[in-house]
Copies of this chain bind each other. A is one copy, B any other.
Amino acid sequence: MAYRKTPAVRDRLDAAREHLIERATAVVADVGWANASVTTVAAAAGMSVGSVYQHFASKGALAVEVFRRASGREVGVVGEVLAHGTGDPVERLALGVGVFARRALENRGLAYALLAAPAEPAVGRERLEFRRRYRALFAAVVREGVAAGLLPAQDADVTAAALTGAIGEVLVDPLADHGEGSADRLVAELVAMSLRCAGAPPVAASPDPEGPS
């Protein structure tokens, strides 16, 4: 008893917590969930292991918070483009898929951690929610596209789930394996596949004018 946190202390604690989350995210992006030990994370944040446990009750709780922050950012950016970007629904879909893919390829380690890397069940639960949010965003834009007559009649929820799964799965291998200069080609391929998936009529690709068949 007889101890009440002053605002100054509160602020310092909050800042330390934020810093810890930030550094932990970098570690996870770098070495993956499996190798992100509490010791490593603490060192990266410049604090002791004990201090880490001042902020989070367990390693799992920290992992969940890292996942939430990072996935929230990604969903936010993609959602912004899909919902409030410029252009008609189909253009926004193409743009959104491109942003999704390009961001993933620019931070492959983080994207892999969010999308596919084996992780403890608590993180797995967050991942389900993460994908659910993408599905909702895609479903809205597909519905718009159908309403505008730009896409054929379809079950928007099915297409949205398909897009979410397809994009995630396509990115998994390049994220884990090889892939360097081919990023642009991969993004273009992914956008084309997504438009096909939603039933948008094929458009002549911008940089590579090869007629199909």
A residues near B (Cβ < 8 Å) are: 33-34, 116-125, 127-128, 131, 135, 149, 152-155, 157-159, 161-170, 172-173, 186, 189-190, 192-193, 196-199, 202, 210, 212-213
Contact = CB atoms under 8 A, between A and B. Distances in A.
Contact of A164 (B34, B149, B157, B169): B169
18 contacts: A118-B121, A118-B125, A119-B124, A120-B121, A124-B124, A135-B173, A153-B210, A154-B192, A158-B170, A158-B186, A158-B190, A158-B193, A161-B166, A161-B173, A162-B169, A165-B168, A196-B197, A196-B198
Given A118-B122, A154-B192, 18 more contacts: A33-B121, A116-B128, A117-B124, A118-B125, A118-B128, A120-B120, A135-B173, A154-B193, A159-B193, A161-B173, A162-B193, A164-B165, A164-B169, A165-B167, A165-B170, A166-B169, A168-B169, A196-B198
How many copies of this chain sit in the oligomeric assembly? 2
